[in-house]
Homo-oligomer: A and B are copies of this chain.
Amino acid sequence: VTDILRYRPAADEYVWTFGGAAPVARIAPGTVLELFTEDCFAGRVRGTADLVSEVVEFPYVNPQTGPFHVDGAEPGDTLAVHFVSIEPARDWAASTTVPLFGALTSTHLTATLQEPLPEVVWIWQLDRAARLCRFEARFGDFTVDLPMDPMHGTVGVAPANLEVRSALVPDAHGGNMDSPEMRAGVTCYLGVNVPGGLLSLGDGHARQGEGETCGVAVECAMDTVVIVDLLKGRPCPWPRIESDTHLMTTGSARPLEDAFRIAQAELVHWLRDEYGLALLDAYQLVSQAVEAPLANVVDTNYTSVAKLRKEWLPGAAPMDGAHARLREQAASYRAAHL
């Protein structure tokens, strides 16, 4: 039988970092977590008058649900986090510009002497039945419905090197990668750095463009179900994602070419290590076959994804076959509970 843990944090139970927080629960590998995640604004942006600079209390931004201590997880192991479902918990979502944050503005790191861009809030209406997100222009009457494509911007474990990182940061421990690929149906692999791993997630997006250009997606609270498994004795240097169709690797760094290099080198190494290709053959195959969707070009580190169709690879079940196994477990759970 599968353990199922339902957890909806109280207002004062969110965490704001990866590492540095006591676990809210200890779970056995294979546990299903039924979670509520608040939006990145801690729910404080509810209308176009709610400017982030006024209503959000830094550093209490991007609240995470967790962390969960996975029994038996040790450094050198990997957590496999399968996203069973990610469903917007409200019928609206918010996006904004934030002063000195985003790709098309100067920032605290890309410093200039110019004035910041104006601060503007957009409230998006979500039609959950039709799976649509409605954009309404603030400075005109244009409206358009975009497909809903729910995802988690942030998922990760406690970092290595004795560090505690803000939930705004993506790095080798995962965190705020802001990749649209983190949608229902995929398995995310996260290398364990501390006993128990200490998994948290949050920052739901009803949808997001690749790169998250203005720095903020269609932000909304989520009802999310994940199954958490443990792969013993198998390291995972950078977060990986597996879908039914693709292998994906991630890299988070600056400048953006370094994020690209990490993700691509990780994919080459994955093909070498699990599919038996020689290093340079893997390099060649990746060069011609890879997709390279950007995740974010706005956070403390930028995140690049490398993505390869599994059908083009020799018949291996990577990562100990975790994805297929979790896919089945998810189907059973869905049959019983959804």
* In the assembled complex, A260 has its CB within 8 A of some CB on chain B: yes
The complex is assembled from copies of this chain, and their number is 4
A277 touches B103 (CB 8 A): no
* In the assembled complex, A162 has its CB within 8 A of some CB on chain B: yes
Question: Which residues of A are interface residues toward B (Cβ below 8 A)?
Answer: 16-17, 19-20, 58-59, 95, 97, 103-106, 108-118, 120, 122, 124, 133, 135, 137-140, 142, 144, 146, 160-166, 168, 207-218, 251, 253-258, 260-262, 264-266, 268, 276-281, 283-294, 297, 302, 304, 312-314
Q: Distance in Å from the Cβ of A174 to the closest Cβ of chain B?
A: 16
A213, B276: Cα distance in complex, Å? 20
Contacts of A288 in B (CB 8 A): 95, 124, 133, 135, 146, 207-209, 217-218
Decide: A111 near B261, CB < 8 A? Known: A139-B278, A253-B254, A277-B137.
yes
A254, B104: Cα distance in complex, Å? 16
B261 touches A104 (CB 8 A): yes
> Which of B17, B95, B110 is A261 in contact with, Cβ under 8 Å?
B110
> Which of B103, B135, B216 is A264 in contact with, Cβ under 8 Å?
B103
A261 touches B292 (CB 8 A): no
Contacts of A19 in B (CB 8 A): 164
> Which of B16, B137, B213 is A278 in contact with, Cβ under 8 Å?
B137
